[in-house]
Amino acid sequence: MGFGDLKTPGGLKVLNDFLADKSYIEGWVPSQADVAVFDAISSAPSTVLCHALRWYNHIKSFQNQKGSLPGVKKPLGQYGPAGVEDKTAADSKDDDDDMDLLGSDEEEDAEAEKLKEERIAAYAAKKSKKPTLIAKSSILLDVKPWDDETDMAKLEECVRSISMDGLLWGQSKLVPVGYGIKKLQIGCVVEDDKVGTDQLEEQITAFEDYVQSMDVAAFNKI
């Protein structure tokens, strides 16, 4: 397994092809696998490598929280497509809890391998005991239609069709605003690191046949 040398165009091409049908290196959420591969890349991929560049920019937005992402960072050669030799040198620099617990021993005898396994197991146990605090917010949105002839049931259906990791829709009601026009007032709970009001506004106002505008009526931390 591996991507080859990620500091070369060839290695980045392998990464781009690998991400053509994937959002992350492993699983469905950002993890230490993404951090390991990201740290091995010296600069952003070119625009020609659109899948790699999309992934690179997304993972870059997690740099302030990369130490808290789930999973345990493994050697780079354990990620990527099968049949590709890993040629990228491992980066020895890391943050406090993500320090290189594999050690610097070059001996490959049985005793050294056993020590590595013990360190990895201890590190995994330590990480699993750390409580993860997820910051959440309760948001109340006002979604305004174009006029009194707008199908408000369809408008609400469109809004609720928006699905994102970290977004949970709540109760809703129609509130009169005048001249026979009613707005949709709908609540939701979001995970702050995953969903923002700008994202919600962009996706809701995309239903331009029904939605004139969206405003945040209330925003409270949970």
Q: 188 has which bridge partners?
A: 139, 169
Between residues 92 and 134, the one the model is more confident about: 134
Which residues are CB-contacts of 90 (< 8 A; sequence separation ≥ 6)? 40, 75, 76, 100
What per-residue confidence (pLDDT) applies to 15?
A: 87
Least confident among 55-59, 80-84, 127-131: 127-131
What per-residue confidence (pLDDT) applies to 88?
A: 54
Which residues are CB-contacts of 59 (< 8 A; sequence separation ≥ 6)? 30, 34, 35, 38
Which two three-digit tokens encode residue 41? 């890349």
- Domains annotated on the chain, with CATH: 9-78 (no CATH), 136-221 (3.30.70.60)
Question: Is the pLDDT assigned to residue 109 strictly greater than 80?
Answer: no
Question: Is the pLDDT assigned to residue 92 strictly greater than 50?
Answer: no
Between residues 160 and 88, the one the model is more confident about: 160
- Name the average pLDDT for the chain: 85
Between residues 121 and 195, the one the model is more confident about: 195
The pTM for the full model equals 0.42
Cα(153)–Cα(143) distance, integer angstroms: 12
Question: Can you tell me the mean pLDDT for 162-188?
Answer: 94
What per-residue confidence (pLDDT) applies to 82?
A: 77
Question: Is the pLDDT assigned to residue 106 strictly greater than 70?
Answer: no
